[in-house]
A and B are shown apart, each in its own frame.
Chain A
């Protein structure tokens, strides 16, 4: 789905969050379902993803790690400068995963980092606008 110029996907998995989280941070597992990688879930860690025809090679940097709830990384390379965020929450059937892939905007990103949890998107956008004056 494309929402506000970002790619957003919401998916439910019949597995607990801790299991889904492991698949997001273990390099052997990532290499199976995502792309070959040397990923390590540590803030500041730089990694590569051997992309296919769609994304080319990706240089990544881990921005935020909060197991098993939130993982945010910068993905850069031929695809440009972007941010990928996985948010996990427990659900009746297992795990609800929200994936958001957006363009990198330095100023916008700082506020979104701080106000991610529990804030209504519209409100935080208005707040950003006021602070922009």
Chain B
């Protein structure tokens, strides 16, 4: 398990904050794809998709492979596991804190 704050996890959290990048990640969940195939159903230009892919690569969520003149992209499953784990930790943190808020309000209304 990667430590909290390892650059890739925090970068990945920011990377998936964008809806287009979430759609790209969803599309790659069913297998590797080229930029063209990824861009086709999206309401943004191909250069914009390439830019989003660069952000996803920088965050360690996606890898790029050249197959001849084509570039193909694939999800890194380890990163997805790391980010899922981080989200679970954060989810639990807030469950605990918001319950503590209830206790605090009860004690000091």
Q: Chain A residues in contact with chain B, CB under 8 A?
A: 1-2, 4-7, 9, 11, 13-15, 19-20, 23, 29, 32-34, 54-56, 77-82, 97, 99, 101-105, 107-109, 125-126, 128-130, 132-133
B42, A5: Cβ atoms under 8 Å?
Answer: no
Known contacts A54-B89, A99-B98, A108-B18; is-contact A23 B4 (Cβ 8 Å)? no
Distance in Å from the Cβ of A56 to the closest Cβ of chain B? Answer: 6
A79, B22: Cβ atoms under 8 Å?
Answer: no
Known contacts A19-B109, A56-B5, A133-B45; is-contact A103 B103 (Cβ 8 Å)? no
When C-beta atoms are compared, the residue in chain A nearest to B100 turns out to be A33
Chain B 48-76 per-residue mask, 1 if CB under 8 angstroms from chain A, else 0: 10000000000000000000000000000
A80, B94: Cβ atoms under 8 Å?
Answer: no
Distance in Å from the Cβ of A120 to the closest Cβ of chain B? Answer: 13
- Residues of B with C-beta under 8 A to A126: 43
When C-beta atoms are compared, the residue in chain A nearest to B97 turns out to be A34
Q: Chain B residues in contact with chain A, CB under 8 A?
A: 4-5, 9-20, 22, 42-45, 48, 83, 87-95, 97-98, 100-105, 108-109
- Residues of A with C-beta under 8 A to B48: 132-133
Distance in Å from the Cβ of B102 to the closest Cβ of chain A? Answer: 6
Distance in Å from the Cβ of A118 to the closest Cβ of chain B? Answer: 18
Roughly how many angstroms separate A1 CA and B95 CA in the complex, as a whole number? 9
CB < 8 Å neighbour of B101 from A13, A102, A107, A133 = A13
Known contacts A5-B22, A125-B19; is-contact A19 B44 (Cβ 8 Å)? no
B97, A4: Cβ atoms under 8 Å?
Answer: no
When C-beta atoms are compared, the residue in chain A nearest to B23 turns out to be A129
